[in-house]
Amino acid sequence: VLLLENGGSPNPMQNVPFYFQSLLHIPQIDYEYYTVPQKHACLAMQEQRSFWPRGMGLGGTSNLNCMLWQRSSRHDYDRWAKLSGSDEWKFDNVLRNFKNIEDYHGSYNNDKWHSHDGKGVYVSTVEHTNLLEEFFEAGREMGYPTKNVNGNQEPRSAFWGISSFSGTSSQQDEPTHLQIFSCFLKHLDQKQTWRLVTYKRHGVERFVKAKREIIISAGAIDSPKLLMLSGIGPKDHLESLGIKCLINLPVGRNLMDHIMAMFGPFTVETPGKTNVLGRDITLNTVSDYFSKRKGFMASAIGANAVAYVHSSLSKEGGNILNKPPDIQLLFIPASLSVPDAFEDFFKFKKGVIQKYVNGFEDKDSFMVNVMLGKYSSRGEIKLASADPTKKPVMDPKYFSHPDDIRRMVDGMNFTVEMAENTKAFRKIGTRLINRHLPGCEKFELKGEKYYECYARHMTSTVYHQCGTCRMGNGIKDPKAVVDSKFRVLHAKGLRVVDASIIPEIPNGNINSAVFMIADKASEFILDYWAKVDNYKQGRRGVDKELLSTAHIL
């Protein structure tokens, strides 16, 4: 196997979860993509653009991942099966793949849902317990039990599962059967079948011929970019850039992303309940991590619990047990102690966060990231030019669908109700700070218009871009780019295997789903070529007509 990857081996510093944010914006390991200015969102961001980090090196953007491990709802994968026309994508049939990829050592060990044979990604549960008791008790007061969200997910709360190994980021060793080149992939060449790849290495343009097939795994942004540069994509768009369209497919469309409002801070009167920089995160914290691989630094963003709930929109149709919860609440028991660093990381306008939290930096407080699990807006990715060195044009069109802001406001209302009106949080004196976010002063605090304004200003990506090479039901599906086995339609010898094939975004963090997709792809690929080899050897097991057409869908 020849692997073409820009960036080489991961940086050793990427093994430390706590360094996640500080390693962004470094051009040697991050492409530093930005969206176009957003009309309905990101109002507090510089130029109203969302920062989308993209990782260089073996492992790609997973090297910059927060390692939050959520399988999402079984209903999401049953929906994939319907959209792709293949029952292989039903949850009961992908559960095996989820178990294949994990070595589970979390708090909900159950052989029905998890594997712990030591062969997969080490999945554990975060160990810092700040405010966990209050969070879970508040959830139970509101009718949400504390159970495993990575089993048969229902509306509930749970410990946060992370993919880590002894407090380090989960990075697999380089397989010995791979030949790895650090390069810049330029485009594919078609000659009856898709076999040639043109790339640059050390400034020299080269090409390589694949014996069997080409698999693109460049992610939801760069996989569609590569296909379009190669002549596979929307005909009008390609021809407007002088690129000959070889296969007219909706590449780059259907762009989805989870978005969140970083909501808070919620102050806590009882001291010592949360993490405050200077008081709780000290040299002892560093020593504890490097000696025991435990503590606050073993978590990428300080989160330790999650809840899934239904919005009023989801409840309107009734029968919520047959729907995935559409709101995720990520609980972060830490204060915004360094607002200027927070502004720099998320690329907020200078001074917005500093003004908002001024005087609260050293007080016990927590944040809740209110995330849209189910997302109705759809964006697109286009080429900026035919020059492969140019970054693509990315427009997620955040909040362009009215249902999304409605769900977000519901999630914020739920969070305030939980933090201020449950016995669990009232006994420690929890309150949302009595101050307007800059830009939302004209709205009444804690009113729906204020929450909407807050969400439109504090919009953040959750780094879950997907869907731009959508999997569908073969050539009869006008929205599809690949079929249920990842094969590019109307092409031979070409697959896409990454988050771009996701037809509808699942309701949880997509890292584990992408691992599952990779495991599923390995089964499809091995099975296909085993049948081809058997046929060539004169054995039974593959139909001649199937062999000639299965990879030219």
Q: Residues at the annotated binding site for FAD?
A: 61
Q: Are 357 and 366 in contact (CB under 8 A)?
A: no
Q: Are 394 and 35 in contact (CB under 8 A)?
A: yes
Rounded distance, CA 358 to CA 277, Å? Answer: 15
Neighbours of 119 (CB within 10 A): 10
Half-sphere exposure of 431 (CA within 13 A, CB side): 9
E-strand stretches of 404-471 = 431-432, 459-461
Rounded distance, CA 359 to CA 393, Å? Answer: 40
Q: 205's torsion region: left (phi>0), alpha (psi -120 to 50) or beta?
A: beta
Half-sphere exposure of 111 (CA within 13 A, CB side): 1
Question: Binding site: which residues?
Answer: 61
Rounded distance, CA 373 to CA 407, Å? Answer: 9
Give the Cα-Cα-Cα angle 373, 376, 380 (nearest 5 degrees): 110
> 349 exposed, middle or buried (CB, 10 Å; 0-12, 13-18, 19+)?
middle
Rounded distance, CA 217 to CA 517, Å? Answer: 11
Rounded distance, CA 495 to CA 419, Å? Answer: 47
Nearest Cα neighbor of 223 from 482, 473, 1, 478 is 482
Rounded distance, CA 454 to CA 438, Å? Answer: 9
Preceding amide of 265 cis, omega within 30: yes
Q: Say which residues have a Cβ less than 8 Å from residue 402's Cβ, sequence separation at least 6.
A: none
Residue count of the chain, please give it.
Answer: 553
Q: Give exposure, 73-95, as e/b (b: 16+ Cβ within 10 Å).
A: bbbbbbbbbebbbbebbbbeebb
Nearest Cα neighbor of 416 from 401, 428, 406, 431 is 431
Q: Are 306 and 158 in contact (CB under 8 A)?
A: yes
Q: Please give the structure tokens belonging to residue 505.
A: 């975004």
Q: Are 60 and 220 in contact (CB under 8 A)?
A: no
